[in-house]
Structure 1
């Protein structure tokens, strides 16, 4: 390599015709000059490592020939063979050495084991004898253990029998004691104790009644204990329990009868405010004692698991009579007797949370009745019953429930809570489970607690409304009455739920079969179809005329057509308080989207045909908030002659129609987003888990529907810009006569100081279109959104045409100058006259140039007043350059941008 790169070999000769030496030398010099030359790694020569036991390839579990040969790639095959033979010889030497070292120990092993067999036999004889003795002892111990286990089993059986006999004795004693407590053996005495209200005595009867409620509570506890013992005895199929089962059933029947009678008597006395058979009313202290007895009875019912029996007593003795007297076929036309409330008792310490509030306008108070601040209130929230017999009827029911049943429901709730807290899953909990298993529950009455609101109050009231007032309340085929009754009824249900003692009671009420039947009777789809027919029929009557006519009245504001106002009125009607129902929110939402699509179809049929030439050379104006479209053209394709009066009138009518459509489209978009933010985003029903995602889907649907309408604006804008640009270019036509005007003037006239009259006419159509400086215009409502964008487009197009006119004018003037120079004579007797004519020509050119500069500056000022950034316009900069550039003798001029 050194010889190859040596200087003596660097010059090409006959043997190196390709110049390889020179190329190698240049490559070496380039590598030496490279800044990364020092970073190249040094080449390390392979080191020779002899074969040994430490070689990883030889010590591997499976020998790989390829890897071993690659590791010795720098060794030739003969050398490698020699190394392997040497290594094999070393292995044989080590093996022989290993055998010679251990041979003596191997030979001495056989001599050391002589005579050990007899010794092993001597050791084996006593071990067999010892094994026999151990096995014999094991059999004796096993026999003793079996005897002990048999005696223990007999004792356990005797102990179980004794415990079972004690259990039967407890059952017998409990049955006897319960029969004694309930006076089953002596019916006359039992009647005396169970009917103290029939005695006409003094205050001793009240004490007997109070003691009677506690007495029945203790009897119920004893009866639960008896059921617990009976369940344990029945697990062993006791014949004794089967023999006395009829006595247990008699105890249960007697206890239930006594409890029902006491509870009925106490409830009637508490609601009527006096003891049966007496004329004097109860005092507040007596009323509190009666309420305590009611609570004790309810706690006893809960202890026995007889929740449905207590509800049946309330339904039979209290609720059913009131419902029959209040809800009947002529109830809405008959006068209602006022329900006088009781003097309110102190609010109990037990508070419950309330159901979430669904807003209805039927409440008399504007305050939210389900707000947390009302949680401790003891009064029902009444409906606005002015001129509404149904609301008056519902108020009567609410007052009665608040007066007679709310305290009972609260007491029942407290009794359930106290029982659950005291049971803690112990014996009482097992007893409750046993009672529930013995008494099957009916459909709609499931649960291990009181459900007075669902099974008593709502079951009777809801069924009475369906049976007695169904034809009036549900008002099939009368949407106005249906909406009013539905709103009033829903407000009544929410007010009734407010009187519920807990959220659990509300959930049970909403899952009750009567609630489901009541909900199905409303037939909301039928109501929606009637409203749909009203809204669509009224809208189609207006949209039958497919013609854009401005009717910008105060009633149609902010729309300028009757059709646009009708579309918005149809949308707003869906969400008005007289039409909207929350359960039909998605159906009304779908109707809104259909209305927007129908309006898009009407606009397609009503818009005039657009001029195809407006799409050539014009930029489609982007909608604010949407991505821009293609860039603007450099040279607009506009007519070169002034339009006729008929064409101008047709253009005015056309842009007025287009502006009318754009105004209504933008107004509808604004109104839709406004109602979405203020109402629809709140009124539409949501899912419980995916509310935000669902709202995003609805918003995307609205955005898509509006985008279909907004897609009409770009072609309409292109047509309007085309017309306004063409009329602006028509205003430029008088500028072509400026040179002839200045040449016809007196040479002594000074330079011009004011712009030409046509400059102010360029943007006059645009100002009139948007109503700038005027009272009104076709697109005055679109001024803030489109004025600047339209002005920029018209300015660019007119500036391009202005450049074209100025360039043509300068070419004409330069051609005239060259023609005049060619006609001049080389010799003239009156040479002074030629110079004078030449000076006059240059003076006219200066005046024309000054006028062009004034006109271009005035053109830029007018555009700047409309919000156009003229300094950033390349067309306007090119226009100014052409206007300021003087005429050249050789006929060249700066090219337009």
Structure 2
């Protein structure tokens, strides 16, 4: 043990030992790849550790590091022992007679262990017994419940049979109302003849008894549901079925008798009985077959083959009026009873499964043609009448939830399916769109007759195509055409009509501009049209835009007033966009008129080429007046403006726009021709001048013989200058300032004398 003792402490004079080297690293620091924490992992494997390190660490280096680590561990162990050496030495002195103490403590511990084992065995036995008792108790409780359920079922079946026996065996016993006390001397559950003696008729008493039986049958159904597949219940099935059949027959007879006598108390009790046994369909069917069918048969008679009896038409308006009267007179009392507040009778749906079902069946058998959309006018009339009677039936619903329930009924859905609104719209689509297509297929414009222009809502329109468009648009929203549930489809049709008209017009203008005469027969009208015809188009476009964005839009918004604000705004925007598409065509039509007029004016401008022949290589003096062709340049434009159609249908602003546009185009063409003429003249004169000068030099003559003569180009420019002055005066007569046209200013600069270049006057 001497080598484990702590070494003598260092003297105070000796310096402390440094733990870092020159570079500040620990002296016993290990490389980064040597991690001491890896030895502490529970899954540490020395062979795998060495195998991993040998791939990049030499074996000698690894062995050196491991030995160094072992040395440091031993050094730590020595330090730990030396730190607590005194306690370590004293430990052996304090452990005296440890074995004897252990023996003394072992005996009581063994005794306690044995007692605990015995107690555990006793507790486990008690627990097993307790669990067995609880299980037996639960089984007994379950058996008791089943037995009680079977007893209750037996008692209820016996009670129902007893109560049913107290019902009259023959319907005639109580169908006439009150009976004499001698006929029956006793009723179950305390109900005696005292009630009849006090004025309560036997029919009401029987309905009360039936309601009680129905309540017991409801209990019986509950018991049977919870006791299925039991032999006892299976043996009673025949009794239960017979009791159910007797109850249904008695309840039906009582309900029919109550309906015949309008006995509210009897009907109320019978309905509660039907509701108790969850057999509402039977009550609805009884009411339909005994009351509603008899009434509807009088209105819409039909035989077994389904042929209408006595009625030659399929109109339903008058039939529905009579049905409403019959409902008010003969059905309202039952509807009021079934809608009694807090009565539990809301489960019945007499409106749908009795009244509407019978009406649908009668129409299908007696007037099947009423559902046919092949005659759109009659179909729409019948459809609206049907919606009206549905609204009338909904008026008998006591609450909003009742209306929702009525609309969700299968009969209601089937009734609405009979009205094939999609086919109706398709027929209307073909009718309306076909009318516009027929009008647009013509090879020429079709002006309206004067008598038609002076009457009706389309008096401002001049062309049949435009009148047809407006009539088709209005047809989409006429009361005798529109189906509100298809308003989105009719809106789309309206926008398609506008698009069709716009495409027809724009395609014709494009064909006219391209000069394609035979590419599209539909566009032939544009090739043969004259400028006066386009006046009609401009006028009609403006009138159509005013009508569509005015009265037509207002009518559509009024029709859709019941829709939400968002929908109305979207409809308004779409129609205004359609009107804008027509408005955007006006400049195209205007340009087509201008192009036609310009082409006619250019025919006179081409005479400008004769000026060169007039003054080239001649001795004519300088011109003093304008050329004759100038007067004809603006003649097509003036003739167009003076025409009857322009004077009648073009507004002042449109006339000014046409004049200004035509003047700019004609002036531009004038400038092109004149500039080319002057350029060619100057080039020709320059060439002739060089030839003349060469000949004179060869002849030895003087080169300035003709320097003081006026050149042919000057004469040509002077003639053009006089012509454009007259042209400017003609433009001024039409209200156009020539000086404001860039092409005219360029032309002036090209031909005007030097001293008049900067001033335009004529």
Report the TM-score, using the length of structure 1 for normalisation.
0.53
Question: Which residue matches 1:577?
Answer: 479
Question: Which residue matches 1:319?
Answer: 292
Q: Of the candidates 269, 272, 285, which is equivalent to residue 299 of structure 1?
A: 272
Would the aligned equivalents of 2:675 and 2:747 in 1 still touch at CA under 8 Å?
no
Q: Of the candidates 537, 544, 550, which is equivalent to residue 661 of structure 1?
A: 537
Alignment of 1:42-61 (within 5 A): none
Q: Of the candidates 119, 136, 141, which is equivalent to residue 137 of structure 1?
A: 119
Deviation at 1:655?
A: 1.8
Would the aligned equivalents of 1:660 and 1:778 in 2 still touch at CA under 8 Å?
no
Q: For residues 130 and 235 of structure 2, what CA distance do their matches in structure 1 show? A: 38
Question: Which residue matches 2:347?
Answer: 449
Q: For residues 114 and 238 of structure 2, what CA distance do their matches in structure 1 show? A: 67
Deviation at 1:327?
A: 1.3
Q: What is the count of residue pairs matched by the alignment?
A: 626
Q: For residues 34 and 541 of structure 2, what CA distance do their matches in structure 1 show? A: 84
Cα gap change, 1:186 to 1:150, in 2 (>3 Å): same
Deviation at 1:128?
A: 3.7
5+ long unaligned stretches in structure 2: 1-21, 38-68, 182-195, 516-525, 607-622, 677-706, 710-720
Deviation at 1:310?
A: 1.1
Question: Which residue matches 2:249?
Answer: 257
Deviation at 1:307?
A: 0.5
Question: Which residue matches 1:777?
Answer: 646
Question: Which residue matches 1:266?
Answer: 258
- Is 2:222 the counterpart of 1:228? yes
Would the aligned equivalents of 2:376 and 2:428 in 1 still touch at CA under 8 Å?
yes
Deviation at 1:249?
A: 3.8
Cα root mean square deviation, aligned? 6.4
Deviation at 1:462?
A: 0.8
Look up the SS of the partner of 2:348 in the other structure: coil
Cα gap change, 1:878 to 1:544, in 2 (>3 Å): closer
Question: Which residue matches 1:495?
Answer: 392
Q: For residues 612 and 215 of structure 1, what CA distance do their matches in structure 2 show? A: 95
- Is 2:366 the counterpart of 1:463? no
Question: Which residue matches 1:486?
Answer: 383
Cα gap change, 1:140 to 1:479, in 2 (>3 Å): closer
Alignment of 1:386-405 (within 5 A): 390-405=316-331
Deviation at 1:669?
A: 5.2
Would the aligned equivalents of 1:167 and 1:229 in 2 still touch at CA under 8 Å?
yes
Cα gap change, 1:243 to 1:744, in 2 (>3 Å): closer
Would the aligned equivalents of 1:651 and 1:723 in 2 still touch at CA under 8 Å?
no
Question: Which residue matches 2:594?
Answer: 721
Look up the SS of the partner of 1:197 in the other structure: coil
Q: Encode CA deviations 1:343-372: one digit per residue, 9 max, x unaligned.
A: xxxxxxxxxxxxxxxxxxxxxxxxxxxxxx
Q: For residues 661 and 410 of structure 1, what CA distance do their matches in structure 2 show? A: 65
Deviation at 1:468?
A: 1.4
Would the aligned equivalents of 1:260 and 1:313 in 2 still touch at CA under 8 Å?
yes
Alignment of 1:751-830 (within 5 A): 777=646, 780=649, 786=654, 790=658, 793-794=661-662
Q: For residues 639 and 100 of structure 2, what CA distance do their matches in structure 1 show? A: 136
- Is 2:561 the counterpart of 1:561? no
Deviation at 1:675?
A: 7.7
Look up the SS of the partner of 2:316 in the other structure: helix
Would the aligned equivalents of 1:539 and 1:570 in 2 still touch at CA under 8 Å?
yes
Q: For residues 505 and 138 of structure 2, what CA distance do their matches in structure 1 show? A: 98
Q: Encode CA deviations 1:368-403: one digit per residue, 9 max, x unaligned.
A: xxxxxxxxxxxxxxxxxxx99632221011111122
Would the aligned equivalents of 1:479 and 1:530 in 2 still touch at CA under 8 Å?
yes
Q: Encode CA deviations 1:777-836: one digit per residue, 9 max, x unaligned.
A: 27835666x55654654565577789999999xxxxxxxxxxxxx989xxxxxxxxxxxx
Cα gap change, 1:611 to 1:513, in 2 (>3 Å): closer
Look up the SS of the partner of 1:777 in the other structure: helix
Q: For residues 467 and 192 of structure 1, what CA distance do their matches in structure 2 show? A: 35
Q: Encode CA deviations 1:420-457: one digit per residue, 9 max, x unaligned.
A: 9xxxxxxxxxxxxxxxxxxxxxxxxxxx9212122111
Alignment of 1:92-241 (within 5 A): 101-105=79-83, 109=88, 112=91, 118=99, 121-122=102-103, 123-124=105-106, 126-162=108-144, 164-180=146-162, 182=163, 184=165, 195=175, 197=177, 199=179, 204-232=198-226, 234=227, 237=230, 239=232, 241=233
Look up the SS of the partner of 2:530 in the other structure: helix
Q: For residues 676 and 125 of structure 1, what CA distance do their matches in structure 2 show? A: 114
Report the TM-score, using the length of structure 2 for normalisation.
0.61
Look up the SS of the partner of 2:344 in the other structure: helix
Would the aligned equivalents of 1:729 and 1:798 in 2 still touch at CA under 8 Å?
yes
Q: For residues 166 and 597 of structure 2, what CA distance do their matches in structure 1 show? A: 112
5+ long unaligned stretches in structure 1: 1-47, 64-90, 271-289, 336-386, 421-447, 614-649, 734-742, 746-757, 809-821, 825-847
* Range 160-169 or range 691-700, more displaced: 691-700
Look up the SS of the partner of 1:559 in the other structure: coil
Alignment of 1:638-649 (within 5 A): none
Q: For residues 532 and 731 of structure 2, what CA distance do their matches in structure 1 show? A: 28
Deviation at 1:131?
A: 1.9
Query: Is the helix fraction higher in 1 or 2?
Result: 2
Deviation at 1:608?
A: 9.8
Would the aligned equivalents of 1:462 and 1:515 in 2 still touch at CA under 8 Å?
no
Would the aligned equivalents of 2:157 and 2:239 in 1 still touch at CA under 8 Å?
yes
Q: For residues 92 and 138 of structure 1, what CA distance do their matches in structure 2 show? A: 53
Q: Encode CA deviations 1:607-645: one digit per residue, 9 max, x unaligned.
A: 6974679xxxxxxxxxxxxxxxxxxxxxxxxxxxxxxxx
Q: For residues 315 and 446 of structure 2, what CA distance do their matches in structure 1 show? A: 48
Alignment of 1:374-413 (within 5 A): 390-413=316-339
Deviation at 1:142?
A: 1.8
Cα gap change, 1:103 to 1:313, in 2 (>3 Å): same
Would the aligned equivalents of 2:439 and 2:464 in 1 still touch at CA under 8 Å?
yes
Deviation at 1:476?
A: 6.6
Q: Encode CA deviations 1:521-543: one digit per residue, 9 max, x unaligned.
A: 55556655655565566556544
Deviation at 1:218?
A: 3.8
Q: For residues 116 and 729 of structure 1, what CA distance do their matches in structure 2 show? A: 143
Q: For residues 120 and 692 of structure 1, what CA distance do their matches in structure 2 show? A: 100
Q: Encode CA deviations 1:60-80: one digit per residue, 9 max, x unaligned.
A: 9999xxxxxxxxxxxxxxxxx
Deviation at 1:261?
A: 2.6
Q: Encode CA deviations 1:297-333: one digit per residue, 9 max, x unaligned.
A: 3233222212012112212321122222221149999
Q: For residues 309 and 230 of structure 1, what CA distance do their matches in structure 2 show? A: 22
Alignment of 1:549-698 (within 5 A): 549-551=446-448, 553=450, 554=453, 556-582=458-484, 599=501, 603=505, 610=512, 654-668=530-544, 671=547, 677-678=553-554
Q: For residues 154 and 608 of structure 1, what CA distance do their matches in structure 2 show? A: 100
Would the aligned equivalents of 2:549 and 2:579 in 1 still touch at CA under 8 Å?
no
Question: Which residue matches 1:365?
Answer: none
Question: Which residue matches 1:545?
Answer: 442
Q: Encode CA deviations 1:594-613: one digit per residue, 9 max, x unaligned.
A: 65566567547866974679
